Amino acid sequence: MNKIIIIFSVAIIFSQSCSAQLQLLKASNHPMQYYLSLPEGWSKNKTWPVVILLEAADKEFKLNAERFVAARATMPFILVAPFNTNNGNDGRRDPKIFPYSTETWDYMEKIGDCQFNDEGIGQIIKDVAQQFNGEEKIYVTGFEAGTHVLWSLVFNHPELVKAAAPVAGNFRNRCVESSKIASDPSKKIFPIKSFVGAKDDFFGPGGKIRNQWTEVATLAKANGYLTISETVIPEKGHEPMPKEVMNYFYSLIK
């Protein structure tokens, strides 16, 4: 009997460990690839909230996903970390950074990063819903240059977003045209909460490029995004904030 209990316990631990492991997957009918990590206790018996993780110019996609796996702990989120582009030109076509073929890069350059990211992430959201019972509306976060894609989702596809949490986020109007911002009424409802370190010399209060936050906040408010705000984290500098972001998203579903 004791042997059975031990084996059963080990099986549970192994199952939970496997759930947290990163799987490298490809979107169906689209070349975008992504890491996926299922939460502890995942099953197909219910739907699960999904967080999209958009990497910065460092392009450390796996490391970024691992940070969020650790920060998630036992929270019930499916984590999705796409190999997004439009986060700086360094490393393009480098197979040590991106898992994309020459054909994929050629295709990407033909249609542009905006369309590639837009269609790829849209397909990933559908795939995760169909294959892993993920919710069809997502939580999204990005650090620094990762927020170029975040703002594109927020302004072009608010119907897909439950909440957005940019961290020290860039905004240079990439893939965002002020005359074409979506009219979907959901933009009035979902929260956008920006996180920044009090000691961030770039995006923090008095930072060198603080204007990028004030510009995007002004644009959002002018276009009906009614719940955009900022939280300044004491003692933090210019750095990712996976724990703060995950705790914030979790507060929205508790």
68: CATH: 3.40.50.1820
Residue 91 lies in a domain: yes
Number of domains, the chain: 1
Written as six digits, the tokens of 96 are: 């040590």
Q: For residue 54, what are the β-bridge partners? A: 142
Residue 112 lies in a domain: yes
What is the per-residue pLDDT for 254? Answer: 81
Residue 1 lies in a domain: no
| For helices 113-132 and 147-156, angle between their N-to-C axes, nearest 10 degrees | 80
Residue 2 lies in a domain: no
What is the per-residue pLDDT for 8? Answer: 41
Helix (H) or strand (E) holding 192: strand 192-197
Which residues constitute the domain of residue 101? 21-253
What's the distance, Cα to Cα, between the start and end of the chain in Å? 38
What is the per-residue pLDDT for 11? Answer: 39
Residue 218 lies in a domain: yes
Q: Which among 190, 193, 186, 179 is positioned nearest to 222, based on CA atoms?
A: 179
Q: What does the alpha-carbon distance between residue 233 and residue 194 come to, in Å, rounded to a whole number?
A: 10
Q: What does the alpha-carbon distance between residue 80 and residue 24 come to, in Å, rounded to a whole number?
A: 10
Helix (H) or strand (E) holding 194: strand 192-197
What is the per-residue pLDDT for 5? Answer: 42
Residue 5 lies in a domain: no
Q: Quick check: 104 and 117 in contact, CB under 8 A?
A: no
Q: Is the pTM of this model over 0.75?
A: yes
Low-confidence residues of the chain, pLDDT below 50?
A: 1-19
Residue 15 lies in a domain: no
Residue 75 lies in a domain: yes
Residues 6 or more apart whose CB falls under 8 angstroms from that of 194 comprise 165, 166, 167, 169, 213, 217, 228, 229, 230, 231
What is the per-residue pLDDT for 247? Answer: 99
